[in-house]
């Protein structure tokens, strides 16, 4: 009874924290939205007045000095930032779709995207990804350098979520799954075993959570499940706050084999039986491999009925010549680490 009481309180506490975090996030979004609109309007005004009165570059420097005399203690009105506002207006004045997306991400992220990305389709991808996965500026820069857009486009998402889950849940699960995961933050440059890869990911769990995307909460690695006296160990176990379900992640350092899907099907059955709570949605699985064969994945996913997704990951951007054929090649995987030591606490 005491254990149940403790669990009830933890769930109650978690709900309150979620409410506070959501309110703070909504407040930030509101402030950010208004700031981006303000900067767009300032940029528009600068362009229009320069054109009307024939003013040159020096007007921006003067404007910055005069603004800071009136609005003291406020950052963001340097000459450089006023030029950024001008450029921001020129970039999006004729593109309503991208402008609407830009309102959802911080100003510094917008400027980074404008400066680094010229292709409009790529801009749309990075704006959406930044908003949906709550990327920090540093993570966004890393994703751009790692050519995340190109990798996501090359690899279609592969899962049986649509068949194995209710329609509303399958759509959400598909959104949570990436076609590929970029793990180059691990700095791996030598051949690596599965357990070593797992240990590195656990050691850098914050980076892993950012790469996985918003909503993933880490529970543990090598999580034990049992059938009679036989023990099974899940590589990585998460809970997804948006999907309201447990997520099993299996790491492989060889090309996808249909056998992997069979093992995942067993793991998901055990997780649903032993760990899933009454109000949880069905657990889902993600198998990460260095390479996959589209036909083999489709064949395997059609056999099993548990919701399983398969994706590729990449450890290094450029594979050294001496490691080709030895190291995995190719593809991509919130802010909080939520550790639960005892499976009874789920």
Q: What is the pLDDT along the chain (346 residues), one digit of tens a residue?
A: 454 556 677 777 777 877 887 788 778 788 899 999 999 999 999 999 999 999 999 999 999 999 988 886 667 899 999 999 999 999 999 999 999 999 999 999 999 999 999 999 999 999 998 887 778 888 888 889 878 888 777 666 788 888 889 887 888 888 778 777 777 777 776 667 888 888 888 888 777 877 787 788 889 889 999 988 899 999 999 999 888 899 999 999 888 999 999 999 999 999 999 999 888 999 999 999 888 888 899 999 998 889 999 988 877 544 334 333 333 333 333 233 233 333 333 3
Element (H, E) at 337: none
Distance CA 150, CA 169 (A): 27
Q: Which of 42, 126, 113 is closest to 76 using CA atoms?
A: 42
Angle at 216 between CA 345 and CA 319, to 5 degrees: 130
Give me the helices (H) in the chain, please: 2-53, 58-70, 79-92, 96-102, 107-116, 120-133, 137-145, 148-154, 161-164, 167-176, 194-203, 205-212, 258-274, 294-303
* Residue 74 vs residues 107, 312, 332: alpha-carbon distances, Å: 15, 45, 39
CATH number of 153-345: 3.40.1350.10
As given in the structure block, the two tokens for residue 38 are 């303000």
Query: pLDDT tens digits, residue range 237-269?
Result: 999 988 889 999 999 988 899 999 999 999 999
> What is this structure's pTM?
0.55
Do the Cβ atoms of 116 and 144 come closer than 8 Å? yes
């Amino acid at each position: 009874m005491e254990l149940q009481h403790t669990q009830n309180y933890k769930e109650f506490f978690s709900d309150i924290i979620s409410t506070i975090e959501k309110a703070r996030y909504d407040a930030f979004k509101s402030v950010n939205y208004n700031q981006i609109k303000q900067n767009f309007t300032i940029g528009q005004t600068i362009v229009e007045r320069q054109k009307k009165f024939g003013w040159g570059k020096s007007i921006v420097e003067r404007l910055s000095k005069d603004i800071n005399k009136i609005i003291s203690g406020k950052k963001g009105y340097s000459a450089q930032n006023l030029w950024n506002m001008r450029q921001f207006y020129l970039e999006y004045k004729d593109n309503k779709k991208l402008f609407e997306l830009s309102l959802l991400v911080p100003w510094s992220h917008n400027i980074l995207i404008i400066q680094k990305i010229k292709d409009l389709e790529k801009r749309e991808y990075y704006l959406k990804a930044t908003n949906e996965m709550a990327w920090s500026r540093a993570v966004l820069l890393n994703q751009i350098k790692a050519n995340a857009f190109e990798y996501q486009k090359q690899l279609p998402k592969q899962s049986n979520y649509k068949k194995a889950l209710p329609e509303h849940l399958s759509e959400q699960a598909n959104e949570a799954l990436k076609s590929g995961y970029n793990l180059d933050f691990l700095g791996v440059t030598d051949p690596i075993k599965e357990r070593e890869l797992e240990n590195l990911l656990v050691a850098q769990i914050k980076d892993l959570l950012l790469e996985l995307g918003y909503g993933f909460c880490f529970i543990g690695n090598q999580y034990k499940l049992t059938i009679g006296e036989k023990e099974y160990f899940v590589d990585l176990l998460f809970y997804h706050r948006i999907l309201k379900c447990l997520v099993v992640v299996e790491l492989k350092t060889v090309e996808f084999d249909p056998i992997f899907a069979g093992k995942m099907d067993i793991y998901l059955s055990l997780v649903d039986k032993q760990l899933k709570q009454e109000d949880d949605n069905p657990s889902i699985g993600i198998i990460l491999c260095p390479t996959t064969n589209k036909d083999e994945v489709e064949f395997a996913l059609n056999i099993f009925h548990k919701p399983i997704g398969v994706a590729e990951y990449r450890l290094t951007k450029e594979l050294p010549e001496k490691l080709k054929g030895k190291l995995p090649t190719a593809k991509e995987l919130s802010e909080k680490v939520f550790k639960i030591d005892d499976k009874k606490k789920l």
